Amino acid sequence: MTTLTAATRTKVLQRQGSAVALVLVVAVSWLVFPRFGSLDNLRDLALQGSFLAVIALGMTFVIITGGIDLSVGSVYALGGVLAAWGSQYGFLVALALPLVVCAGIGLVNGLLIARTNMAPFIVTLASLLFARGLLLAITDEGATTYQIPPDSAFVELGRGTVFGFGYPIFVAAALCLLGGVVLNRTSSGQNVFATGGAEQSAILMGVPVARTKIGVYTASGTLAGLAGALTAAYLQSGVTVIGVGTELDAIAVVVIGGTLLTGGTGMVLGTVIGVGLIKVIQNVINQIGTLDSNYQSVVSGVFLLVVVVLQRVLRR
Amino acid sequence: MTLTATRTRWLQDNGVYVAVVALLLFNAVFTANFLTLGNFRTQLVQAAPVLIVALGMALVIGTEGVDLSVGAVMALAAAIIPLYLGAGPVPAVLMALVAGLVAGLFNGFLVAKVGIQPIVATLALLVGGRGLALVIANGQLVQLHDPAFLALGTGDVLGIPISVLIAVVLAVAVAALTNRTTFGRQLVAVGGNRRAAALAGLPVNRVLIGVYTICGVLAAVSGVLATSRLGAGDPADMGLLMELSAITAVVVGGTPLTGGKVRVLGTVTGVVLMQLVRATLIKHDLPDSIAQMIQAAIIVAAVYVARERR
């Protein structure tokens, strides 16, 4: 009986570890930094986190199937540039163009991975280069930054607010909610888990493994493109230099959230908590004005390490 | 085995060499000033740091791992050199190599003893390592003036650049290590099937820690040479995205990401191929955008040809 409760406790800790950490970090920050708890700061925090959350949502699905998507950082930047370029033709083009192109890149990723037995790491590494190259090609080698007309309705998508909270926060929240429901309550979600858990068995059981893989990579590309479009709307321009290394941020928050890179298990809520943790830590480091901003990445790295080591130790 | 199958198999194994020869021929005919000593020298000097990192990466990939931290380790080396250069070039280089050693040991420990997946274990150092390097260097680029140290990156021995010589020596050493030593056999066995290797009594943990340590030290060597060639410690840009270049070269060279096989000559050729591709595109004035897309296509094509059939 004691072993059972110990096991249960470990399991709870494993599942809720990052949530507990988030609550602790928030509580401490709130007490130590008076400005942390201000509504303005929290709104800003949520907004900054929302872009990463949209990208990491797609990454969660990909990683649960046992894959990885390194292209999302480049695709994110490409989505922003396409949205800014498209905004001169109106709201619909600005939104649809990045989604369609980035979904296309994701689809090609998925097709190559599912149909040709090539490693996801390599395929998406190639599309990382390709998407960045495409971005450079449409921006005169990065020299042109497309501006979004300030009176464009598209700007409202990034800068509009409800009770001071930006629209991207609601978009991210709605998508994560939808993602959680799809993952846990639909047969497609079950297919995602089955594909990552034991691919051969899944194939034998009749799970549409290839279709599932194509689906998750397409979703990941689309979401990265959407995040780029939202960012462009918020910044009112298609900044060409963003997104370098964003794929690693996304992977880190997914892992911190308890999704295993081996595939087969994972949860959307964990990813959201992971985003929260990273963003709160970055925010706190910014609050300590005297601290070199380079400490941000040091702390993020150490934090990632602590989380994965703890996960590993608890799983034993 | 039918003739087509044999031919496919041959192409799988030797495609990268064919590609290099084809590209050399193309350039010899179509690129002005390609067949000059100066040009070959430039290409080799540019390829040397990537090659040194790729050698370590090939060993790591042979164990079914990956090391994302190599670029960060190069940045650490770049940050440490200026700190100790006052005491002379030898202590400075040694300290940089020690940093690489420690980083590699750390990665190896996480992978072997703690059992964390290589991507995540080395991702932590990728994220934190460059930050640490920037903290050490106060975020500054530091100009270096020690002539003995700068000679490492710019000097010659018998007309061959020192950095290229070091790269060649290291390539031979790594080839000997994989093909002629027990450690090399164990490495491939661990990569092929870790459980079976453990059950067969191989020192799996020691092999893994050793491989990551070698990779860390090689990354530091590369960081030292690149810093010397640049004439400045630049932790912000040193080795940026090097992990991707190195992995690309290794995979294009025919070492599968699934482990169990290390092709050192293939890796060298992979580095040369990617360098030649870049040089060809630059010499024909193709913009960076097209160059990146072509590189993407080459990676996919190379891996497609070499992939194992289901």
Q: What's the pLDDT tens digit per position in A26-58?
A: 888 888 888 888 888 889 899 999 999 999 999
Going from N- to C-terminal start, the domains of chain B cover: 35-306
Query: Does residue B310 have a pLDDT over 70?
Result: no
End-to-end CA distance of chain A: 19
Q: What is the ipTM of this complex?
A: 0.84
Q: What is the pLDDT of residues A159-208, one digit of tens each?
A: 888 888 889 999 999 999 999 999 999 999 999 999 998 888 899 988 99
Identify whether the C-beta of residue A245 lies closer than 8 Å to the C-beta of residue B68. no
Query: Nearest by CB to A122, which of B115, B288, B299?
Result: B299
**pLDDT bracket for residue A2 (50, 70, 90):** very low
pLDDT at A36: 84
pLDDT at B157: 85
> With an 8 Å Cβ cutoff, are A309 and B114 in contact?
yes
Å between A125 CA and nearest CA of chain B: 8
Q: Which residue of A has its CA nearest to B289?
A: A133
- Given the candidates 2.70.50, 3.40.50, 1.10.3470, 3.40.1010, the CATH classification of the domain at B35-306 is 1.10.3470
The CA distance from A175 to A156, in Å, is: 19
Two tokens at B15? 């495609």
Q: What is the pLDDT of residues B181-234, one digit of tens each?
A: 999 999 999 998 888 998 988 899 999 999 999 999 999 999 999 999 988 888
Å between A159 CA and nearest CA of chain B: 30
At B14, which amino acid appears?
Answer: N
> With an 8 Å Cβ cutoff, are A121 and B110 in contact?
no
Phi-psi region of B255 (alpha: psi -120 to 50; beta: other; left: phi over 0): beta
User: What sign for the dihedral angle of Cα A292, A297, A302, A307?
Assistant: positive
At A54, which amino acid appears?
Answer: V
Query: Does residue A3 have a pLDDT over 70?
Result: no
| DSSP code at position A147 | B
Residues 104-143 (A) with a CB less than 8 A from some CB of B: 112, 116-119, 121-123, 125-130, 132-137, 141-142
Quote the radius of gyration of chain A (alpha carbons, Å). 20
Quote the radius of gyration of chain B (alpha carbons, Å). 20
The CA distance from A254 to A68, in Å, is: 11
Dihedral, A102, A104, A105, A111 alpha carbons, nearest 10: 150
> With an 8 Å Cβ cutoff, are A130 and B114 in contact?
no
Query: Nearest by CB to A122, which of B125, B290, B303?
Result: B303
Q: Which residue of A has its CA nearest to B65?
A: A121
Query: Nearest by CB to A129, which of B110, B129, B295?
Result: B295
Residues 47-76 (A) with a CB less than 8 A from some CB of B: 68
Identify whether the C-beta of residue A23 lies closer than 8 Å to the C-beta of residue A224. no
> With an 8 Å Cβ cutoff, are B116 and A309 in contact?
yes
Size of interface A-B (CB pairs under 8 A): 139
Query: B197, exposed or middle or buried, with CB in 10 Å at 0-12, 13-18, 19+?
Result: buried
Q: Which residue of A has its CA nearest to B248?
A: A122
Residue in the structure block whose two tokens are 């044999």 = B6
**pLDDT bracket for residue B16 (50, 70, 90):** confident
Q: Which residue of B has its CA nearest to A139?
A: B289
Identify whether the C-beta of residue B135 lies closer than 8 Å to the C-beta of residue A292. yes
The CA distance from B36 to B246, in Å, is: 27
Query: Does residue A246 have a pLDDT over 70?
Result: yes
Å between A286 CA and nearest CA of chain B: 15
Q: What is the pLDDT of residues B294-303, one digit of tens each?
A: 889 988 888 8
pLDDT at B173: 96
The CA distance from B22 to B133, in Å, is: 41
Q: Best residue in A249, A256, A308 to probe B by mutation, most B CBs within 10 Å?
A: A308
Report chain B's mean pLDDT, rounded to a whole number: 89
pLDDT at A290: 65
pLDDT higher for A9 or B295? B295
A255 touches chain B (CB under 8 A): yes
Please name every residue paired with B199 in a beta bridge, in sequence order, or none if there are none: none
Q: Best residue in A130, A199, A247 to probe B by mutation, most B CBs within 10 Å?
A: A130
pLDDT at B257: 85
Q: Which residues 6+ apart lie within 8 Å of A114 measured at CB? A: A209, A210, A211, A213, A214
**pTM to 2 decimal places:** 0.88
**pLDDT bracket for residue A9 (50, 70, 90):** low
Q: Which residue of B has its CA nearest to A313?
A: B114
Query: Nearest by CB to B139, which of A123, A126, A294?
Result: A294
User: What sign for the dihedral angle of Cα A297, B124, B103, A284?
Assistant: positive
> With an 8 Å Cβ cutoff, are A297 and B130 in contact?
yes
pLDDT at A1: 42
The CA distance from A192 to A63, in Å, is: 10
Alpha helices in chain B (DSSP H): 3-30, 37-62, 70-84, 89-109, 118-136, 147-154, 162-180, 182-192, 194-199, 204-230, 242-252, 264-283, 288-306
Two tokens at A211? 């279709």
Backbone angles phi, psi at B297, to 5 degrees: -65, -40
Residue A130: count of CB within 10 angstroms of its CB: 26
Q: What is the pLDDT of residues B140-184, one digit of tens each?
A: 888 888 888 888 888 888 888 999 999 999 999 999 999 999 999
- Angle formed at CA A158 by CA A153 and CA A162, multiple of 5 degrees: 95
**pLDDT bracket for residue A11 (50, 70, 90):** low
Q: What is the pLDDT of residues A78-127, one digit of tens each?
A: 999 999 999 989 899 999 999 999 999 999 999 999 998 888 988 999 99
Two tokens at B156? 């010659």
> With an 8 Å Cβ cutoff, are A137 and B287 in contact?
yes
Å between A232 CA and nearest CA of chain B: 21
Residue in the structure block whose two tokens are 């025919």 = B254
Query: Nearest by CB to B292, which of A133, A248, A297?
Result: A133
Distance set, CA A216 to CA A36, A113, A120, A223, A230 (Å): 36, 11, 12, 10, 21
